[in-house]
Structure 1
Amino acid sequence: MVGATAAVRLWILNGDGGMSGERYGLVRVEGEIGDSESVVDFLDTLREDSDVPGVLIRIDSPGGVVGPAQEIYAAVKKLAAVKPVVVSMGSLAASGGYYVACPAETIVANPGTLTGSIGVIMSLGSWQDLMGKIGYTYEAITSGEMKDAGSPYRELTPKERAYFQSLVDDLFSQFVEDVAEGRHMDEAKVRELADGRVYSGRQAKKLGLVDQLGGFEDAKDVLRKKTGKGDLPFDEGPVEEESLLDRVIGSVVSHVDGARTQQGPRFEYSLR
């Protein structure tokens, strides 16, 4: 039964997980950005498909972890170099959610979209007081003085704080440089806007962070005009092939992993 279902799916979807024939691509970047593989794979597939004249990216995300956001940014940049790419911002496209939009040729935001939040945050947990109350002690044997930096069992030393600040500053510079390149803006101007604050879509339009105001259907019209192809179907993805059980187990694991991750530093292009 499983084999027959897979065979039918391959026949219907032309074997590559997408529609066949001439159509637009529709890429959804939704929720926290913690993994980039499926989005990047779909972007690459659309880039290489000659039957796809242009791509619409729908973003509704507060951002997320730096590395995956940078991978999506790079994939969007490669795609935009060979065919029209239009971004439609939903209710939220902030920090990493804004970052991944920047290489697109045109960014369309609702007047009330929350966007911007250009900045970096590093999160550290602290269990020191709790461990003291329950009589728990902790000791680490390390190969270097910074190997244990960010431990939740003790306070940061001044040297460790300066070390983490230097990392945040470098990641911030990368963010600003990529926004300036993607939006064809002066880097100094981007830095003026990049204090972490959120902008409305209307404010972002005045500041040059987005190109025009409008909704999802308006963004579709922009893509149709840019390609000159008129009405074509939209091939939407990435398709998440998960069963209900997989989603339940994944949710539990993500909570466990999230708790474990907070033992060490977590660097994010994320709205907080």
Structure 2
Amino acid sequence: MAKFSEQHPLLFGILLIILAVALFTGAMAFFRGLGNKNSTLTGDKIGLCKIEGMITDAREVVEFLQELRTDESVKGVLLRIDSPGGSVAPSQELYQAVQELAKVKPVVVSMGTVAASGGYYAAAPATLIVANPGSITGSIGVRAEYVNIQGLLDKLGLKSDLLVTGKLKGAGSPTQPLTKEQRAYLMALIFDLHQQFVTDIATARGMDEAAVAKLADGRAMTGRQALELKLVDKLGGQEMAMATLRDMVKAEANIPVLEGPEKKLPLLPRLLGATLSAALQALGEDAARARQADGLTLQYRQ
């Protein structure tokens, strides 16, 4: 019988490439583990937790905050936020995690470009909030929207039949207009979520709930405006926020910093590594150039 490599030379070559990349990736992961600055930290330290981008899943950040809370060598935590907000429930999970952390050790927030809506929600229970004068924050409120395509379906001669078990179950369907009852029902949901937001901010900041409600009309504000409205405590950047935290915990300037949460790569890059990913990207670019040559260009647009 002929050898497998002779019968299937292309498949055999691909398998060899995958094996080589897997070995290379494993070796790199091993050496990364040896060189991980967090793994070598001993003695007292300060935690640095980052909340970045849209808030859609809080699990990794919450787990890291729990780790910082239970680690007795961590004397305080700098929470760096650069997020425009996101989903309600994950924002509430972050709020709760920061609240629990602040009960046992100082938490200082450093606001980056934006820490608004859910980003501000997460910041509120901290011991101290520091914002740049030009940071965009606030935006206390809840929004929901849906696209109704009924008019488009009518023009195309299409009809959608919606089968539901109750008159409110179909509220928000893109193929059906909202009834007055459905609109009132959805608005009640939104206002309840809004009230939760207001109550939590008032509790965390020690403010009168009525005063927070006046600010909770969805307005965004600069860090300087937020300071005047008592939504933040100080103006300054990350360096100043870190110095303030060190003073609070009476730490030296060279105290080690435990940073996280670590970014977890998707399964395919973890298994195949950057080399194969780059090869796949190159193939995609070649295909895109071929499509352009044929007069067809596909784009992903934000």
TM-score under structure 1 length normalisation? 0.85
- Whichever of the two has the greater Rg, that structure is 2
1:130 corresponds in structure 2 to 152
Q: Structure 1 residue 161: deviation in Å?
A: 0.3
Q: Structure 1 residue 142: deviation in Å?
A: 1.4
For 1:124, the aligned partner's letter is Y
Are residue 100 (structure 1) and residue 122 (structure 2) matched?
A: yes
1:143 corresponds in structure 2 to 165
Pairing of 1:178-197 with structure 2 (within 5 A): 178-197=200-219
2:131 corresponds in structure 1 to 109
2:41 corresponds in structure 1 to 20
- 1:228-263 per-residue CA deviation (whole Å, 9 max, x = no partner) reads 112212222111121696599xxxxxxxxxxxxxxx
Report if the CA contact (8 A) 1:57-1:86 is conserved.
Answer: yes
Are residue 235 (structure 1) and residue 258 (structure 2) matched?
A: yes
Q: Name the SS of the counterpart of 2:144 in structure 1.
A: strand
1:55 corresponds in structure 2 to 77
Are residue 174 (structure 1) and residue 196 (structure 2) matched?
A: yes
Gap regions ≥5 residues in structure 1: 249-272
Q: Name the SS of the counterpart of 2:51 in structure 1.
A: strand
Are residue 198 (structure 1) and residue 220 (structure 2) matched?
A: yes
1:72 aligned to 74, 78, 94, which one? Answer: 94
1:265 corresponds in structure 2 to none
Alignment partners' CA distance in 1, 2:134 and 2:39 = 32
Alignment partners' CA distance in 1, 2:160 and 2:68 = 51
Instruction: Report how many aligned residue pairs link the two structures.
Output: 246
Q: Name the SS of the counterpart of 1:100 in structure 2.
A: helix
Alignment partners' CA distance in 2, 1:27 and 1:37 = 13
Alignment partners' CA distance in 2, 1:178 and 1:86 = 18
For 1:44, the aligned partner's letter is Q
- 1:124-178 per-residue CA deviation (whole Å, 9 max, x = no partner) reads 1111111111122111221111111100102100000000000011000000000
Alignment partners' CA distance in 1, 2:40 and 2:158 = 58
Report if the CA contact (8 A) 1:13-1:20 is conserved.
Answer: no
2:285 corresponds in structure 1 to none
- 1:187-221 per-residue CA deviation (whole Å, 9 max, x = no partner) reads 11100111110111111101100001001101001
Alignment partners' CA distance in 1, 2:118 and 2:146 = 19
For 1:163, the aligned partner's letter is Y
Range 150-159 or range 123-132, more displaced? 123-132
Moved over 6 A (4+): none
Alignment partners' CA distance in 1, 2:136 and 2:269 = 32
TM-score under structure 2 length normalisation? 0.77
Alignment partners' CA distance in 1, 2:72 and 2:135 = 33
RMSD after superposition: 2.0
Alignment partners' CA distance in 2, 1:57 and 1:39 = 10
1:84 corresponds in structure 2 to 106
Same amino acid, percent of matched pairs: 50
